[in-house]
């Protein structure tokens, strides 16, 4: 699986910046305001971020593997 550059950049931004920020924000707000399912929601957000990170890693591996295969 190779991702297009714009999809890769969007997923990378989502995984590295957006989702961790949302997780921290919800965790703080859940504690402060007594919002429901704080731990479950934060854990789910972090699991999604990890999944996206793995998909990005697979895509990067396949991209680099393709470069070395065509180096002949």
**pLDDT digit string, tens, across residues 8-51:** 999 999 999 999 999 999 999 999 999 999 999 999 999 999 99
Give the span between the Cα atoms of 52 and 55, in whole angstroms.
Answer: 5
Give 32: exposed, middle or buried? Use CB within 10 Å, 0-12, 13-18, 19+: exposed
pLDDT tens digits, 53-63: 999 998 889 88
Overall domain count for the chain? 1
**Predicted TM-score of the model (pTM):** 0.84
Q: Which token pair is 58?
A: 């697979």
Q: Which domain holds residue 48?
A: 5-69
């Amino acid at each position: 699986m190779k991702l297009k550059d714009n999809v890769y950049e969007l997923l990378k931004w989502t995984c590295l910046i957006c989702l961790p920020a949302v997780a921290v924000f919800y965790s703080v707000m859940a504690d402060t305001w007594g919002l429901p399912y704080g731990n479950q929601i934060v854990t789910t957000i972090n699991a999604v971020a990890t999944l996206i990170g793995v998909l990005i890693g697979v895509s990067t591996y396949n991209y680099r593997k393709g470069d070395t295969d065509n180096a002949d």
